Amino acid sequence: MKLTVTSPELGAAIAGLRAAPGYMYAALKKYTAEYMIPAWKEELVNSPVVSTVQRAVLIDTASATTFVEGFTLTAGDSTSPLRGGLVPSIWARAFEFGTSIVKRRTFQQHSRKGTLYTVHNKMTTNQMPRRSRSGWAVYPGATRVTKRAFGLYAQIILRTWHDGAEGRIK
């Protein structure tokens, strides 16, 4: 799940940076990574997560990518399997938005010795939270962090301009 954050107002402020030297862009990206990524991680850690599996799938795989015009928040995009074989990118939406608890499935399974047998009426979604349109951890966290992020981003732009004017950035 990805969420890209940009703003027309901040875009206008960034447009002023286009006349500035290239090292100002690098400093803006560095300052953005320095402040936004910890804010995103902190917001997710403080979110009300239901289970340890949900924490492993959504929060432990969360990251943020910064660029000059804004930043992208990601969670559950990892394609490497967790211990036990669960792939976060496949199951992230189910753990974020929940699923129907009463779903039962019939499937085939191999024993340790290799014998194939059928499992009937197994409840396969017990570890998932109940359905929620607004999400459980990532989307509420992104809502809270973007409110904070626009203020931080304006401060970062001003800090970059100030440091550039004083000659601290090279």
Angstrom CA distances, 160 to 31, 54, 136, 147, stand at 8, 38, 35, 21
Structure tokens at 12: 């206008």
Domain ranges of the chain: 2-99+133-166
Q: What is the DSSP letter of 73?
A: E
- Each residue of 142-160: pLDDT tens digit? 888 887 877 877 787 788 8
User: Which pLDDT band holds residue 1 (cuts at 50, 70, 90)?
Assistant: low
- Each residue of 26-74: pLDDT tens digit? 887 888 888 888 888 888 888 877 688 888 998 888 888 877 677 788 8
CB-based burial, 3-19: b 16+ in 10 Å, e otherwise = bebebeebeeebeebee
Q: Tell me how far apart the alpha carbons of residues 77 and 14 are, in angstroms, rounded to a whole number.
A: 29
